[in-house]
Structure 1
Amino acid sequence: MPTSPRASVLAISLGLLLAACNAAPEASGDLGGGESGPTLGLFSTLPIYWGEGADISSMIDGESQPGWVRAQLEEDRTLTPLDTLEADALEGLEEVVLAQPRPLAPSENVAFDAWLRAGGKALIFADPVLTQHSEFAIGDPRRPHDMVLISPLLTRWGLELKFDDAQSEGQREAAFGQVDVPVELAGEFESSGDDPKAQCTIAESGIAARCSVGEGEVLLIADAALLDDHYDTPERREALAALTASIFGE
């Protein structure tokens, strides 16, 4: 069963560290970051930008090795981690990935919604029961959040995230277009009916929802098993590439 979300103290600290490290090209170059293409913001509690267990020294020295998820996201884009979704952090960005994000402050909810309505595009992985293994014990702030809480945004967009605790355990495939996306103990999106102006299309399985938000657009996946760096397969890379292409374009 999921535990209550914890304050992502380390995530904030690492974001501040990155800002300091960005001034040193060698600190990011050894990590294999993208060198060209549009900038893609990443806001996540998952160990995507740095491998799990990386210490401060290895980050500064450029010795931390990212996994396949970061490499795939950087295939055609320059990835930049975000430690907040306030307006100043989103300024200048056109594309953002939220992957099992921490709970947002009210001002972040407002800023992110406004950013979307002004033309932003976002891919959101919102997992109600995260199944990814972590080296860190429950209660450790470095551990990814076991459940996602983004209800204010979902309500604003006319959605609700449900979870069926009677579903079978184990990984399964959910169809998204022509690609199968691996999911495990996934949630389901439903229309909340709270916003008559909401323009969301929900997949028949409920695993995905696509919403027009003002001038912007958001694609939501009710699971984050795809982003597990422990499992690197061509099929997973293809699935992630298909999702990013679907919302951001080739």
Structure 2
Amino acid sequence: MTEPLRVLVADDEPLAAERVALLLDRIDGVNLVGTAGDGEAAVRMTEALSPDLVMLDIAMPGLDGIEVARALSSIAQPPAVIFVTAFDQFAVAAFEVAAVDYLMKPVDPARLALAIDRARAYLRQRADEDASPTVEAEGRYLEEFWASDLSGLVRVAARDIDRVSAERDYMRLHVGARSWLIHHSMAALEEGLDPKLFVRLHRSAIVRRDFITGFSRNPSGRWIARLADGEEQPVGRLYADQVRAMAGR
């Protein structure tokens, strides 16, 4: 039997927190493990209770919801995060911290059920990634990623990624003019992406090989990769051998 989804609700408005709690009680397989009245309490209770999902208001005293999400991302096994707010102007910031979903108050029961399903899918994917054999043992590489955007979860095929750039504890996947944040380390992506298709050029950058159109040197002698979208990617000194190998030198 599937384990219940353990949920913590954080909202400084008691009536709003109570409404969410009542709606959660109607959803099968969901256990409310606690409620927090401010951001600092949300962080403390998450560390103490280890919920699978934290439902965060954004406008809270002390730490706001965005700051709480950033703090939670640094713990060993961070929970999934869903924002519940009366303000729609924070949506972009919410997904920059890899929120699973973004709900507007008053919360619609059907919309909440969909958000819970998305949280379950996110947690299943993360568990599968953690439990999967190493690339060397399995002889295969990552083929897809699931990332959050305003519509929910989006599948991003690995072969479509032009480049990956690091942003603090998150990695941004660039595909054409669009990009998505995922919670991975650069080292894990370097190991998981097929080296026949991708090359690491910097401690904070991985680029698809056929997205590189050429190399040049700047006045200090440092290699610069020219990319198909017109951008340039500096090559870290530790990765200069990658350039020479690609150029057959």
For normalisation by structure 1, the TM-score amounts to: 0.25
User: Which entry has the higher C-alpha Rg, 1 or 2?
Assistant: 2
Structure with more contact order per residue of length (Cα contacts < 8 Å, sep ≥ 6) = 1
- Give the number of the structure whose residues are more often strand, by fraction: 2
